[in-house]
Structure 1
Amino acid sequence: MSDTQTLIENRPPTVAALFLERVAATPDAEAYRCPVPAASGEGPDDWKSLSWGQAAERVYAIAAGLIELGVQPEQRVALASSTRIEWILADLGIMCAGAATTTVYPQTNAEESAFILADSESRVLVAEDAAQVAKAREKRGELSRLTHVVVVDATGVETDEWVLSLAELEARGAARLEKEPGLIKQRVGAITRDQLATLIYTSGTTGRPKGVRLPHDNWSYMAKAIAATGLVGPEDVQYLWLPLAHVFGKVLTSGQIEVGHVTAVDGRVDKIIENLPVVRPTYMAAVPRIFEKVYNGVAAKARAGGGAKYKIFRWAAGVAREYAKVTQDNFRRTGTHSAPVGLAAKHKVADTLVYAKIREAFGGNLRACVSGSAALAPEIGYFFAGAGIHILEGYGLTESSAASFVNPGEAYRTGTVGKPLPGTEVRIADDGEILLRGPGIMEGYHGLPEKTAEVLEADGWFHTGDIGELSPDGYLRITDRKKDLIKTSGGKYIAPAEVEGQFKAVCPYVSNILVHGADRNFCTALIALDEIAIRAWAEENGLGGKPYAEIVAAPATVEMVDAYVRELNAGLQKWQTIKKFRLLPRDLDVEHGEITPSLKLKRPVVEREYKDLIEEMYAGTREA
């Protein structure tokens, strides 16, 4: 048996046990950093550190406080909060109490929040602030099982027997621990690997979300498997901003406990650019939209600097892509990231002029980024790879505890999601669907045995719903969602995500794009532009100061986007080309339900909302 197999197969039953082990091993080592608003209220935030021992003190107090409220093993405690240190401490407290965390996105409206709380039979809700408490109060009549609400930031919140502050919960817990100092160790020791640890509701594109049941063993396996990849070590500094209500953010907390590195936690997306030079992370996980935004921002800044600067940027972007493709190919064949002398010389000049500034904007210490949740356009991946920002794409689903595949460090291949994590099996079905089996796979959907049976076979194989290809040496490439494949009226299959990704690499102003063409005789697209990038373009093109909707409706804007669509079409097969497009009057967003909180496009919602625009593009054709 290899060391990796031993590491994984001899894993403890729970992450709670791993946490106790980590605290015992390195109590004084730094565990977390979190922002503290500057005393003046202006300027950059200060950051404070928490050692593993200090974190444990709060975690154990939260766990004991929940036990004091009557929470029993496997009972659900819901967490409705943005990403912050208290989310992690509360989640660990819930696990150490033997209970199970139900995650709720803070953007979720009162009705859907109430559905999740009722369906999960949550006994306690940990709410971030007054806004989250208000949603619970509004629906209290529907939440008969919810005995308490614990509020993290109690500003403006009236506490009573039903609502108490997190500080009060911790005080109650600390008092209980004084009487029973061995309480937490006892609770953690009693947890079995098949006990429910987390209930995550998938943001379905239609109908009610389904609760995915993930037992303790899923997370313990993930922690050990992440450590076994060797991608992170104890000296690393992670910048964690992803929504922890999403499985991708949640899995990162398990891996950190096993490895023992530092995590800087701040979920404010608008603070990422400001935080990176302060945190100076060595690795960071993100979704493709963030890399697209950075790429668009760099391109827009170069364009704003005048023709010469933009020309240099375009040249450097081309060099980066060529360099990344050549060096990755050479590494595959020879094991070295070598490039021809001429290309290496051009790359060195481009590095001085462009790439070094991009790396500095990421904090200057970044060794690698992990990208997941959706496909990253390969041309954007190659650009960053050539600029020295190594994006390791990974793949997984809520149902597989997030991380099933990841690219292997230096041997990463842009455009693939890498190889399976140690202990995870994969096979491709006859119709191209990716099937997974291993210790990360869910127990099933909460209260939905028929839905579980549709995707989970008796022998453990899980049907992902994604289409993919495996290379001879085990690298997986995702082609598309099985249900998202388009079949034109001419019988041709098209993967819309592939076309959409290519357009994002071509056009620096796009925010979201949806390619449509199922049962039609040609493809069309709905395109939303990035507000910041397009406003900068508008300033240079006589549209400065105008509202967003007016900018996107202007003939000059449509003409500019049309040039990018023609550039896209030049590289596509005839049946894939975009014959017509419409610019949307606003960007797609979470609030309107058009994208998920993890920034994935909800195709049916967008197609339904903009049905008139789609029909307009096909008006007058044979199928109209």
Structure 2
Amino acid sequence: SLKYAILLDEVEHEESWVISLEDLKKAGKEERKASKESMQEIAAKTKPEDLWSIIYTSGTSGDPKGVILSHFNIAANVQQTQAHAKFKKNKRWLSFLPLSHSFERITSLFSFWIGGDIYFAESITKVPDNLKEVKPQYMTTVPRLLEKIYSTVIEQVISGPKAKQKIFNWAQHVGTKAVNKYLVYNKKPIGPLGIKYAWAKKLVFSKISAVFGGEFVRCVSGGAPLAPEIGEFFLMAGVRVQEGYGLTEMSPITHANVNKHLKFGTVGKALPDVQTVIAADGEILIKGPNMMGGYYKSPAETAEAIDKDGWFHTGDIGFIDEDGYLKITDRKKNIIVTAGGKNIAPAAVEREICASKFIDQAVVVGDRRKYLVAILVPSLEIIAKWGKKQNPPIEFTTYEDIVTSKEVNQLIKDELRASQDELARYEQIKYFFIAPQPFTIETGELTASMKIKRNEIINKYDLEIEELYNN
């Protein structure tokens, strides 16, 4: 049971079990004076199988579960990660993910272990400022941050002079060739293409790399899928994005792209000593030294997650390609089976929808229904700029202005029509409604790592969803 809660800020309280960080430091100093053992002696008593931490899952597909991780699990994952990724020591890292999240916890330990300096961002909104201040070489991130930077750059280009648009389009064309022939293999472009790429970097891409502080080398992105075109875009600018995969139950990293061969749209190859198989129904099964001991006080759920042969059932659907790279299709629980018997991975449809600069977030619905519908969150920032260019101009100052606007509703319809060209007819959205507020961590619709809580959102808007089908 919970014994103490530590407050980082000085706040008045009466509970004896709540103590401040300063009081904890004082108690630690007193204990150190009174103790006859050194930290090294205490550490030497620790066994590999001893409990390191219980980390609770985000609860995107059910109730949060306490994951039991040992010192061996964590030590194994730190060493597996470095053997796979080969980060250099004495480099600066920027951290902005919640410190309670397994991905960020392993990043902190990992950066210490290889001899790096880690800086903690003041807040998610201050990350752009902190990047310029810290000038990091490495960072772990989630796609949401990269998507925001990408959409901001594209919007600035579209709203800029025609001459700048032509230069940008030329640079992107050159960059795409450089990416496919050289950069994904971590090679420097040579020959005529190398000369053109050098000019593209000077005229365009150097400005994008400056957003990351000017010394950035690469980052590992996880927690959600990253659109391939975004990964390619940042690679053109000299920012290598290694997309990876993991789960809290695996301490957490199991796969990551190899730096000498990036394959966008995949989560890369398995880390050393991690075994991966695809079950008959497409589910990804994993085992390795970094696998949890089980769920805290939940033997039935542990037995359901880890089978008799020791394989952890991830709940994700995917496949391994000819190069040994893992590609995630969707969560097993999220797969939509339409009334016509068609299987649809909603994440893939949502990625197509969110390729529109006007749409920030999307949740697709349609299990056991005749067609798909969607709950959408438009981008207030982008639509506000769009509104000013209309004749006559339309003012959008609040998100509520967007929700009630007939013009925005028509704009989204047009965007959906354009963005769904590549989808099969049964995968296309027939109707949608705009959520009355954006999905946020505070409203319980996003996890701490900014993953969408699909079930929470669908349950919250069940009446609106029914209305789309009834009408």
Q: TM-score range by the shorter chain?
A: over 0.9
Structure 2 residue 274 is the aligned partner of structure 1 residue 424? yes
> Equivalences for 1:173-572 in 2 at 5 Å?
173-180=28-35, 182-205=37-60, 208-306=63-161, 309=164, 313=168, 316-317=171-172, 320-321=175-176, 323-327=178-182, 331=185, 336=187, 338=189, 341=192, 347-504=197-354, 506-541=355-390, 542-572=393-423
1:165 aligns with 20
Q: TM-score, normalised by structure 1?
A: 0.71
> How far 1:366 moved relative to its partner?
1.1
Q: CA–CA distance in 2 between the matches of 1:401 and 1:269?
A: 24
Cα pair distance change 1:522/1:327, threshold 3 Å: farther
> Which AA in structure 1 matches 2:219?
C
> How far 1:489 moved relative to its partner?
1.7
Q: CA–CA distance in 2 between the matches of 1:452 and 1:260?
A: 36
Cα pair distance change 1:431/1:338, threshold 3 Å: farther
Cα pair distance change 1:508/1:340, threshold 3 Å: farther
Cα pair distance change 1:619/1:323, threshold 3 Å: farther
Cα pair distance change 1:387/1:566, threshold 3 Å: farther
Q: 1:153 aligns with which of 9, 15, 24?
A: 9
Cα pair distance change 1:359/1:336, threshold 3 Å: closer
Q: CA–CA distance in 2 between the matches of 1:552 and 1:232?
A: 46
Cα pair distance change 1:547/1:502, threshold 3 Å: same
1:485-536 deviation digits (Å, cap 9, x = unpaired):
11122222111111212333x3123221112222222222221023333333
> Which AA in structure 1 matches 2:282?
G
Residues 5 and 17, structure 2, Cα contact 8 Å, conserved in 1: no
1:117 aligns with none
> How far 1:195 moved relative to its partner?
1.2
1:335-379 deviation digits (Å, cap 9, x = unpaired):
8565894x6566445433332111001111111111001111222
Cα pair distance change 1:454/1:388, threshold 3 Å: same
Residues 380 and 396, structure 2, Cα contact 8 Å, conserved in 1: no
Q: CA–CA distance in 1 between the matches of 2:22 and 2:357?
A: 46
> How far 1:225 moved relative to its partner?
1.3
1:105-152 deviation digits (Å, cap 9, x = unpaired):
xxxxxxxxxxxxxxxx122222xxxxxxxxxxxxxxxxxxxxxxxx22
1:608 aligns with 459
Q: TM-score, normalised by structure 2?
A: 0.92
Q: CA–CA distance in 1 between the matches of 2:63 and 2:347?
A: 24
Aligned residues: 469
Structure 2 residue 5 is the aligned partner of structure 1 residue 122? no
Which residues of structure 1 form unaligned runs of 5+?
Answer: 1-120, 127-150
> How far 1:618 moved relative to its partner?
2.4
Q: SS state of the match for residue 139, structure 2?
A: strand
Residues 441 and 447, structure 2, Cα contact 8 Å, conserved in 1: yes
Cα pair distance change 1:260/1:365, threshold 3 Å: same
Q: CA–CA distance in 2 between the matches of 1:429 and 1:398?
A: 21
Residues 221 and 242, structure 2, Cα contact 8 Å, conserved in 1: yes
> Which AA in structure 1 matches 2:356?
C
> Which AA in structure 2 matches 1:512?
Q
Cα pair distance change 1:563/1:311, threshold 3 Å: farther
Q: SS state of the match for residue 433, structure 2?
A: strand
Q: CA–CA distance in 2 between the matches of 1:587 and 1:222?
A: 35
1:32 aligns with none
Residues 488 and 517, structure 1, Cα contact 8 Å, conserved in 2: yes
Higher relative contact order (CA 8 A, sep 6+): 2
Larger deviation: 246-255 or 603-612? 603-612
> Which AA in structure 1 matches 2:288?
G
Percent identity, aligned pairs only?
A: 36
Which residues of structure 2 form unaligned runs of 5+?
Answer: none
> How far 1:161 moved relative to its partner?
4.2
Cα pair distance change 1:306/1:525, threshold 3 Å: farther
> Which AA in structure 2 matches 1:281?
P
> Which AA in structure 2 matches 1:577?
Q
RMSD: 2.4
> How far 1:583 moved relative to its partner?
2.2
Residues 380 and 398, structure 2, Cα contact 8 Å, conserved in 1: no
Q: CA–CA distance in 1 between the matches of 2:138 and 2:86?
A: 9
Residues 303 and 309, structure 1, Cα contact 8 Å, conserved in 2: no
Cα pair distance change 1:528/1:402, threshold 3 Å: same
Q: CA–CA distance in 1 between the matches of 2:462 and 2:14?
A: 46
Cα pair distance change 1:552/1:351, threshold 3 Å: farther
Cα pair distance change 1:583/1:306, threshold 3 Å: farther
Residues 232 and 264, structure 2, Cα contact 8 Å, conserved in 1: yes
Residues 543 and 551, structure 1, Cα contact 8 Å, conserved in 2: no
Larger deviation: 401-410 or 545-554? 545-554
Q: CA–CA distance in 2 between the matches of 1:475 and 1:337?
A: 23
Q: CA–CA distance in 2 between the matches of 1:307 and 1:529?
A: 26
> Which AA in structure 2 matches 1:611?
D
Q: CA–CA distance in 1 between the matches of 2:457 and 2:13?
A: 39
1:272-325 deviation digits (Å, cap 9, x = unpaired):
011101111111111111111111222223334355545654565555445434
Q: CA–CA distance in 2 between the matches of 1:552 and 1:475?
A: 41
Runs of 4+ in 1 over 6 A off after TM superposition: none
> How far 1:556 moved relative to its partner?
2.4
Q: CA–CA distance in 2 between the matches of 1:496 and 1:313?
A: 33
Q: CA–CA distance in 1 between the matches of 2:351 and 2:413?
A: 17
